[in-house]
Amino acid sequence: MIRSFSSLVIFIGLLVFNPLKFSTASIVSTGDFNKDFFVTWSPSHVNTSADGTTRSLKLDKESGSGFASNDMFLFGQIDMQIKLVPGDSAGTVLAYYLISDQPNRDELDFEFLGNVNGKPYILQTNVFADGHDDREERISLWFDPTAEFHTYSILWNLNQIVFMVDWVPIRTYRNHADKGVAYPRWQPMSIKTSLWNGESWATRGGKDKVDWSKGPFIASFRNYKIDACVWKGDPRICREGSHTNWWNQDVSSSLTWAQRRLFKWVRKNHLIYDYCQDSKRFQNNLPKECSLPNY
Protein backbone atom coordinates (compact mmCIF):
# COMPACT_ATOMS: atom_id res chain seq x y z
CA MET A 1 0.00 0.00 0.00
CA ILE A 2 2.84 2.40 0.90
CA ARG A 3 4.64 1.62 -2.36
CA SER A 4 1.44 2.19 -4.37
CA PHE A 5 0.75 5.52 -2.68
CA SER A 6 4.37 6.62 -3.15
CA SER A 7 4.16 5.74 -6.86
CA LEU A 8 0.95 7.73 -7.17
CA VAL A 9 2.56 10.80 -5.59
CA ILE A 10 5.54 10.51 -7.97
CA PHE A 11 3.19 10.15 -10.96
CA ILE A 12 1.19 13.23 -9.94
CA GLY A 13 4.40 15.16 -9.38
CA LEU A 14 5.59 14.32 -12.88
CA LEU A 15 2.29 15.44 -14.36
CA VAL A 16 2.17 18.76 -12.59
CA PHE A 17 5.80 19.74 -12.93
CA ASN A 18 7.27 18.48 -16.18
CA PRO A 19 5.07 20.63 -18.45
CA LEU A 20 6.83 23.72 -17.06
CA LYS A 21 10.12 22.67 -18.61
CA PHE A 22 9.35 23.54 -22.20
CA SER A 23 12.95 24.34 -23.19
CA THR A 24 15.95 22.04 -23.07
CA ALA A 25 18.40 24.45 -24.73
CA SER A 26 20.03 25.32 -21.42
CA ILE A 27 20.95 21.80 -20.31
CA VAL A 28 24.65 21.75 -19.53
CA SER A 29 25.10 18.28 -18.02
CA THR A 30 26.81 15.49 -19.92
CA GLY A 31 25.54 12.67 -17.69
CA ASP A 32 29.15 11.76 -16.92
CA PHE A 33 30.24 12.43 -13.34
CA ASN A 34 33.89 12.44 -14.45
CA LYS A 35 33.25 15.31 -16.87
CA ASP A 36 30.88 17.54 -14.86
CA PHE A 37 32.22 17.02 -11.33
CA PHE A 38 35.51 16.68 -9.48
CA VAL A 39 36.29 14.83 -6.24
CA THR A 40 36.70 17.22 -3.33
CA TRP A 41 37.36 14.80 -0.51
CA SER A 42 38.98 11.39 -0.14
CA PRO A 43 39.24 9.97 -3.71
CA SER A 44 39.67 6.48 -2.26
CA HIS A 45 36.12 6.74 -0.90
CA VAL A 46 34.53 7.82 -4.20
CA ASN A 47 33.63 5.09 -6.67
CA THR A 48 32.53 5.94 -10.22
CA SER A 49 31.33 3.48 -12.87
CA ALA A 50 33.45 2.94 -15.98
CA ASP A 51 31.03 4.96 -18.13
CA GLY A 52 30.75 7.75 -15.56
CA THR A 53 26.97 7.48 -15.19
CA THR A 54 26.88 6.35 -11.56
CA ARG A 55 28.89 7.35 -8.52
CA SER A 56 28.94 6.39 -4.84
CA LEU A 57 30.31 8.00 -1.70
CA LYS A 58 31.64 6.04 1.27
CA LEU A 59 31.94 6.91 4.94
CA ASP A 60 33.99 4.83 7.36
CA LYS A 61 36.15 5.45 10.42
CA GLU A 62 38.94 6.70 8.19
CA SER A 63 37.08 9.37 6.24
CA GLY A 64 33.98 10.68 4.59
CA SER A 65 33.90 11.81 0.94
CA GLY A 66 32.46 14.30 -1.49
CA PHE A 67 32.41 15.82 -4.98
CA ALA A 68 31.50 19.16 -6.59
CA SER A 69 30.57 20.56 -9.98
CA ASN A 70 33.22 22.03 -12.27
CA ASP A 71 30.97 24.99 -13.11
CA MET A 72 29.04 27.52 -11.07
CA PHE A 73 25.48 28.53 -11.90
CA LEU A 74 23.12 31.44 -11.38
CA PHE A 75 19.52 30.18 -11.53
CA GLY A 76 18.13 27.01 -13.06
CA GLN A 77 17.18 23.55 -11.89
CA ILE A 78 19.34 20.72 -10.59
CA ASP A 79 18.02 17.15 -10.43
CA MET A 80 19.91 14.31 -8.79
CA GLN A 81 18.82 10.72 -8.30
CA ILE A 82 20.08 9.42 -4.96
CA LYS A 83 19.81 6.15 -3.06
CA LEU A 84 20.54 6.75 0.60
CA VAL A 85 22.64 4.78 3.07
CA PRO A 86 20.72 1.57 3.92
CA GLY A 87 20.37 -0.16 7.28
CA ASP A 88 21.42 1.45 10.53
CA SER A 89 22.79 4.81 9.38
CA ALA A 90 22.37 6.75 12.64
CA GLY A 91 24.77 9.69 12.93
CA THR A 92 25.58 9.89 9.23
CA VAL A 93 24.69 12.88 7.07
CA LEU A 94 24.45 12.98 3.31
CA ALA A 95 24.47 16.58 2.07
CA TYR A 96 23.49 17.63 -1.47
CA TYR A 97 23.48 21.37 -1.92
CA LEU A 98 24.24 24.55 -3.85
CA ILE A 99 26.74 26.99 -2.35
CA SER A 100 28.32 30.28 -3.39
CA ASP A 101 31.63 29.80 -1.49
CA GLN A 102 31.67 33.48 -0.48
CA PRO A 103 32.00 35.05 3.00
CA ASN A 104 28.36 36.20 2.87
CA ARG A 105 27.42 32.96 1.28
CA ASP A 106 24.21 31.80 -0.27
CA GLU A 107 23.42 28.11 0.14
CA LEU A 108 20.51 25.77 -0.56
CA ASP A 109 20.71 22.48 1.35
CA PHE A 110 19.31 19.00 1.22
CA GLU A 111 20.59 17.13 4.28
CA PHE A 112 19.58 13.50 4.77
CA LEU A 113 19.89 12.57 8.42
CA GLY A 114 20.79 8.97 9.05
CA ASN A 115 18.40 6.86 11.09
CA VAL A 116 18.25 3.91 13.42
CA ASN A 117 17.18 0.87 11.40
CA GLY A 118 13.42 0.77 10.98
CA LYS A 119 12.83 4.46 11.71
CA PRO A 120 11.82 6.91 8.96
CA TYR A 121 14.53 8.87 7.20
CA ILE A 122 14.44 12.59 7.98
CA LEU A 123 15.19 15.16 5.30
CA GLN A 124 16.34 18.58 6.47
CA THR A 125 16.42 21.59 4.16
CA ASN A 126 18.03 24.93 4.87
CA VAL A 127 18.46 28.26 3.11
CA PHE A 128 21.41 30.59 3.58
CA ALA A 129 20.95 34.08 2.16
CA ASP A 130 23.66 36.72 2.42
CA GLY A 131 25.46 34.66 5.03
CA HIS A 132 22.50 34.05 7.32
CA ASP A 133 20.79 30.68 7.85
CA ASP A 134 18.63 29.50 10.79
CA ARG A 135 15.96 28.50 8.27
CA GLU A 136 15.79 24.75 8.85
CA GLU A 137 12.79 22.62 7.98
CA ARG A 138 12.48 18.87 8.44
CA ILE A 139 10.14 16.33 6.91
CA SER A 140 9.81 12.56 7.13
CA LEU A 141 9.96 10.91 3.73
CA TRP A 142 6.88 8.93 2.67
CA PHE A 143 8.91 6.07 1.18
CA ASP A 144 12.06 4.07 1.90
CA PRO A 145 14.82 6.18 0.26
CA THR A 146 17.34 3.35 0.65
CA ALA A 147 15.43 0.79 -1.43
CA GLU A 148 15.42 2.66 -4.74
CA PHE A 149 16.72 5.83 -6.36
CA HIS A 150 14.57 8.95 -5.99
CA THR A 151 14.95 12.36 -7.60
CA TYR A 152 15.82 15.37 -5.44
CA SER A 153 15.59 18.75 -7.17
CA ILE A 154 16.20 22.42 -6.54
CA LEU A 155 14.51 25.00 -8.75
CA TRP A 156 16.05 28.46 -8.29
CA ASN A 157 14.98 31.58 -10.11
CA LEU A 158 14.35 35.28 -9.56
CA ASN A 159 10.98 34.61 -7.93
CA GLN A 160 11.29 31.47 -5.86
CA ILE A 161 13.33 28.53 -4.67
CA VAL A 162 11.53 25.18 -4.68
CA PHE A 163 12.88 22.01 -3.07
CA MET A 164 11.31 18.91 -4.63
CA VAL A 165 11.28 15.17 -4.00
CA ASP A 166 10.22 13.20 -7.07
CA TRP A 167 8.86 16.53 -8.42
CA VAL A 168 6.68 16.97 -5.34
CA PRO A 169 7.36 20.43 -3.84
CA ILE A 170 8.27 20.01 -0.18
CA ARG A 171 9.47 23.55 0.49
CA THR A 172 9.46 27.01 -1.06
CA TYR A 173 11.40 30.17 -0.31
CA ARG A 174 10.12 33.22 -2.16
CA ASN A 175 11.93 36.35 -3.22
CA HIS A 176 10.69 38.97 -0.77
CA ALA A 177 13.78 41.16 -1.15
CA ASP A 178 11.53 44.16 -1.72
CA LYS A 179 10.27 43.64 1.84
CA GLY A 180 13.72 43.41 3.39
CA VAL A 181 14.13 39.61 3.29
CA ALA A 182 17.50 38.35 2.05
CA TYR A 183 17.28 36.25 -1.14
CA PRO A 184 20.02 34.50 -3.16
CA ARG A 185 19.96 36.42 -6.45
CA TRP A 186 23.43 37.70 -7.32
CA GLN A 187 26.01 35.09 -6.33
CA PRO A 188 26.60 32.01 -8.52
CA MET A 189 26.62 28.64 -6.78
CA SER A 190 28.27 25.30 -7.40
CA ILE A 191 26.74 21.87 -6.77
CA LYS A 192 28.30 19.90 -3.94
CA THR A 193 27.73 16.58 -2.18
CA SER A 194 29.32 15.05 0.89
CA LEU A 195 28.84 12.04 3.16
CA TRP A 196 30.14 12.65 6.66
CA ASN A 197 29.94 11.93 10.37
CA GLY A 198 27.33 14.19 11.95
CA GLU A 199 26.70 12.11 15.07
CA SER A 200 26.97 15.15 17.35
CA TRP A 201 23.55 16.37 16.13
CA ALA A 202 22.07 14.43 13.20
CA THR A 203 20.03 11.64 14.79
CA ARG A 204 17.73 12.48 17.71
CA GLY A 205 19.82 15.54 18.48
CA GLY A 206 23.01 13.51 18.76
CA LYS A 207 21.65 10.80 21.06
CA ASP A 208 22.20 8.05 18.48
CA LYS A 209 25.85 7.75 17.48
CA VAL A 210 27.45 6.12 14.44
CA ASP A 211 27.78 2.36 14.88
CA TRP A 212 30.95 1.74 12.88
CA SER A 213 30.37 -2.01 12.96
CA LYS A 214 27.48 -1.37 10.53
CA GLY A 215 29.78 0.38 8.05
CA PRO A 216 31.05 1.22 5.58
CA PHE A 217 28.15 3.54 4.83
CA ILE A 218 27.49 4.08 1.13
CA ALA A 219 25.18 6.45 -0.76
CA SER A 220 24.72 6.25 -4.54
CA PHE A 221 24.04 8.81 -7.27
CA ARG A 222 22.92 8.60 -10.89
CA ASN A 223 20.89 10.33 -13.65
CA TYR A 224 21.69 13.88 -12.65
CA LYS A 225 20.52 16.80 -14.76
CA ILE A 226 21.91 20.33 -14.68
CA ASP A 227 19.53 22.68 -16.49
CA ALA A 228 20.96 26.02 -15.44
CA CYS A 229 22.77 29.18 -16.48
CA VAL A 230 26.55 28.68 -16.37
CA TRP A 231 28.25 31.58 -14.64
CA LYS A 232 30.51 33.57 -16.96
CA GLY A 233 30.81 36.72 -14.88
CA ASP A 234 27.77 38.64 -16.11
CA PRO A 235 24.63 38.18 -13.97
CA ARG A 236 22.44 39.89 -16.60
CA ILE A 237 22.73 36.86 -18.89
CA CYS A 238 21.31 34.57 -16.21
CA ARG A 239 18.69 37.00 -14.95
CA GLU A 240 16.99 37.67 -18.27
CA GLY A 241 13.74 35.90 -19.16
CA SER A 242 14.86 34.36 -22.45
CA HIS A 243 13.59 31.20 -24.12
CA THR A 244 16.71 29.42 -22.94
CA ASN A 245 16.30 30.61 -19.36
CA TRP A 246 12.92 28.88 -19.00
CA TRP A 247 13.11 29.08 -15.20
CA ASN A 248 12.72 32.88 -15.33
CA GLN A 249 9.50 32.71 -17.34
CA ASP A 250 6.20 33.59 -15.66
CA VAL A 251 5.09 29.94 -15.69
CA SER A 252 7.89 29.13 -13.19
CA SER A 253 7.36 32.18 -10.97
CA SER A 254 5.08 30.37 -8.51
CA LEU A 255 3.65 26.94 -7.75
CA THR A 256 0.81 25.78 -9.97
CA TRP A 257 -2.53 24.94 -8.34
CA ALA A 258 -1.69 21.21 -8.55
CA GLN A 259 1.74 21.76 -7.01
CA ARG A 260 0.13 23.74 -4.20
CA ARG A 261 -2.08 20.78 -3.36
CA LEU A 262 0.94 18.49 -3.14
CA PHE A 263 2.84 21.10 -1.12
CA LYS A 264 -0.02 21.33 1.38
CA TRP A 265 -0.21 17.52 1.55
CA VAL A 266 3.48 17.33 2.50
CA ARG A 267 3.10 20.08 5.09
CA LYS A 268 0.07 18.44 6.65
CA ASN A 269 1.31 14.86 6.76
CA HIS A 270 5.12 14.92 6.84
CA LEU A 271 6.37 18.18 8.31
CA ILE A 272 8.37 17.59 11.52
CA TYR A 273 9.95 20.97 12.12
CA ASP A 274 9.53 24.45 10.63
CA TYR A 275 11.61 27.34 11.92
CA CYS A 276 8.67 29.61 11.20
CA GLN A 277 6.69 27.77 13.89
CA ASP A 278 9.45 27.94 16.50
CA SER A 279 8.51 31.06 18.47
CA LYS A 280 10.57 29.97 21.47
CA ARG A 281 13.75 29.77 19.41
CA PHE A 282 13.26 33.27 18.04
CA GLN A 283 11.86 34.67 21.30
CA ASN A 284 8.50 35.45 19.70
CA ASN A 285 10.19 37.46 16.97
CA LEU A 286 9.94 35.18 13.94
CA PRO A 287 11.88 36.08 10.78
CA LYS A 288 10.01 38.45 8.49
CA GLU A 289 9.48 35.90 5.71
CA CYS A 290 7.43 33.73 8.07
CA SER A 291 4.51 36.14 7.75
CA LEU A 292 4.80 36.43 3.96
CA PRO A 293 3.32 34.15 1.23
CA ASN A 294 4.99 30.83 0.38
CA TYR A 295 3.88 31.01 -3.26
* Contact call for residues 220 and 56 (beta carbons, < 8 A): yes
- Give Rg (Cα) of the chain: 18
Sheet holding 122-128, edge to edge: 37-41, 65-69, 190-197, 92-99, 107-113, 122-128, 137-140, 271-274
Give the active site residue among 107, 137, 199, 289: 107
289 is catalytic: no
Tell me the one-letter amino acid at 86. P
Q: Are 72 and 189 in contact (CB under 8 A)?
A: yes
Decide: residue 257, CB within 10 A, 0-12 exposed, 13-18 middle, 19+ buried.
Answer: exposed
Q: Are 112 and 146 in contact (CB under 8 A)?
A: no
107 is catalytic: yes
The DSSP line for 61-111 is SS--EEEEESS-EEEEEEEEEEEPPPS--TTEEEEEEEE--STT--EEEEE
Identity (one letter) of the amino acid at 111?
E
User: Is-contact 152 96, C-beta < 8 A?
Assistant: yes
Pick the catalytic residue: 111, 137, 199, 289?
A: 111
Q: Which of the residues are catalytic?
A: 107, 111
